[in-house]
Structure 1
Amino acid sequence: MEILILTNREIEKLLPMSECIGVMEECLLAFARGRMHQPLRMVVRPETAAGLMALMPAYKSGEASAYGLKTICVFPENPAKGKDAHQGSVALFDGETGEMRAMMNASAITAIRTAAVSGVATRLLAREDASELAIIGAGVQARTHLAAMACVRSLKRARVASRTFEHAQALAQEVQPGYSFPITAVETIEEALRGAQLIVTATSAHEPVLKREWVAPGAHINAIGAYSPATREIDTATIAASLLFVDRRESAINEAGDYLLALQEGAISPEHIRAEIGEVLLGEKPGRTSPDEITLFKSLGLAVEDLAAAEYLYHQAKTKGAGTWVEF
């Protein structure tokens, strides 16, 4: 039996953002229709460890059924060392025999598919005329979210703010040659958000970095940095003022500190979650209903998204003769 090995660089070539947005839309539709299955992720978080490990299994039913398993380590201090905070692998298995088909770099898949899902949400929820982007954070997800936002809206300018201004400057200078609109580093989050109709929070913050008074009417927010019940990027007032959409309700009510802490404070009720993105795609639930509404997509990342990306990559690699095939 041969298995396919795909590296970070190979995945970046085989999974362009524009293609991945379409793959993620189909994945979320399939999940909403009950054709894909996943449990809550299992997280190993020892008190003395520098990071955590999460196990994220998923299954796709149908004629070409498949299993996937992402094993991901999250080390928040890695960016200061010049490394991605997310390290791990995505394994793909045949749904009929259980044989392993592929082992892929999880850092690349996570970086691209997370931003692609935000792209799906933004295309559904943001105003059609949204053209000013604010990105909070200057790491891997900031880069991929810039690409995703540029795929789904005609951007006129982008501003980047980070905990360290030099990091924001470095990101803006690095990515500017790839875009026709200006990308500017600013010193404060408030300055970045001023007049922004599209907002991405991609930080490792444990406390809110975004305040309600900084958010313009009609803005759309993609909140992707916080992933545990005790951490959040978005303040309670913004959560309460927003129409809240999620990738999956079960994940949000168990893992989304942005939602759970506002709930604990009594600012919102359990019914505050408007819909899953898949429900909006199916037309079962409404998205934005007026130009001045603030919409907020809380992303936690789903194992079904990793499985969908891995399947796409597997078929692309076979078609294009990419990757390395090894006896297993």
Structure 2
Amino acid sequence: MKVIEAQEVHQLLTMKKSIDVMKETFLKFQQKEYIQPIRRIDKLPDKEQNIFAFMPAYLGEDSYFGAKLITSFAKNQGTKYSSHLGYVMLFQSQHGNPVALIDASSITQIRTAAVSGVATELLANEDAKTLALIGAGVQARSHLAAILAVRSIEQVYVYDIFAKSAENFKTEMEAQYGCNVIICKSVESAVAEADIICTLTPSKEAYLKPEWIKQGAHINAIGTFTPTTREITSELMAQAELFVDDYDAIKKESGDYLIPLNEKIISDTHIKASLGELLTKEKSGKSSSKSVTIFNAVGLAVEDIACAKFIFEASEQN
């Protein structure tokens, strides 16, 4: 069995390749070629209620199956530790033999942003030039790479509650991409001129308000993934067109969706389409260039196992 650590993952799974893998994944997931059982997410009995998750998926009889075992420790933000740590265990489907153990933190970092890249390509206005990143951690770095892969971004605004994190982000990303990064003192100032917004925080309370959002903006809301946490206010969720990674996952795990639903501010028909439905053209995307769109994702096991498949097969060719 091969062990593949983070450095090799980043070498093999570039953002462009990951976006292509995610497009194929959502197509096959929509067509029932890829399946995933219900994942298990448990809160640890510690004071922070940190999370341990088991996320299985199956890619077909002639392919692979496996699971991601991962922890989510929000307090790791701003430290040397990633907020998500673990491994993906990959098995060959024909005989059930394990073939690889792959660093899950790097897969999560790349594929989460790649999915937002797919959503942005499908939903953001084609002339979008400005990007706001709320949170300046690893997901901000990968999301900048993903959005640059699908839109011609000229200006990047960033806000983080830790000023040093935003400063480090600016220094690193300007050197890496040659883009202009402006550090903002508030979420409101960060999003004011943004055509594309990515909310990348573990916030327990909603903070993104409709009156702050530019007409026609697209929002990738991916920071939270439990029924009691959210980043989008109920009022903004009600006013925007909502797209999701998976209906079942969102209706079970997304506080961004479930809280306004329980408040009766939105109905259970508020979701306009999933990424799979957009890619298969079963449903249409943004209704007009003036509409505000939200892509809400909690993360899917099929994404992790599809990335693990790609990484393992690419490593075998080296």
Deviations 1:101-133 (A, max 9, x none): 100000000000000000000000000001100
Q: Is the 8 A contact 2:173 2:179 kept in 1?
A: no
1:242 aligns with 2:252: no
Which residue does 1:268 correspond to in 2?
Answer: 266
> Residues 239-318 of structure 1: matches in 2 within 5 Å?
239-318=237-316
For residue 269 of structure 2, give the secondary structure of its aligned residue in structure 1.
Answer: helix
From 112, 115, 118, the counterpart of 1:114: 112
State how far apart, in whole Å, the 2-side matches of 1:123 and 1:150 are.
10
Query: Shift in Å at residue 185 of structure 1?
Result: 1.1
3-state SS of the aligned residue for 2:273?
strand
Cα distance in 2 for residues equivalent to 1:312 and 1:263: 37
Q: Is the 8 A contact 1:229 1:261 kept in 2?
A: yes
Q: What is the CA RMSD across the aligned residues, in angstroms?
A: 1.0
Number of aligned residue pairs: 317
Partner residue in 2 for 1:37: 35
Q: 2:200 aligns with which of 199, 202, 214?
A: 202
**For 1:168-224, what per-residue CA distance to the aligned partner results, in whole angstroms no more than 9, with x for missing partners?**
122111111112321111111111101101000000111012111111110000001
CA distance in structure 1 between the aligned counterparts of 2:40 and 2:259, rounded to whole angstroms: 21
Distance in 2, Cα, partners of 1:229 & 1:44: 13
TM-score, normalization by structure 1: 0.95
Cα distance in 2 for residues equivalent to 1:264 and 1:47:
27
Equivalent AA in structure 1 for residue 283 of structure 2: K
Q: Determine helix, strand or coil for the equivalent of 1:23.
A: helix
Shift of 1:49: 5.5
Q: Deviations over 1:127-156 (max 9, x none)?
A: 000110000001111110000000000001
Q: Which amino acid aligns with 1:55?
A: F
Deviations for 1:25-66, whole angstroms, at most 9, x for unmatched residues?
00000000000111221012133264211000000115x221
Identity across matched positions, percent:
41
- Partner of residue 24 from structure 1, selected from 22, 25, 50: 22
Query: Which deviates more, 156-165 or 252-261?
Result: 156-165
Q: Say which is worse superposed, 171-180 or 10-19, in terms of deviation.
A: 171-180
- Shifted more, 80-89 versus 243-252: the winner is 80-89
Matches of 2:104 and 2:131, distance apart in 1: 27
Measure the CA separation in 2 of the matches of 1:184 and 1:40.
41
Give, as a single letter, the amino acid of the residue that structure 1 aligns with 2:234. Answer: T
C-alpha distance in 2, partners of 1:289/1:210? 22
- AA partner of residue 214 (structure 1): W
Distance 2:197 2:42 in 1: 31
Q: What is the aligned partner in structure 1 of residue 127 from structure 2?
A: 129
Return the offset for 1:81.
Answer: 2.5
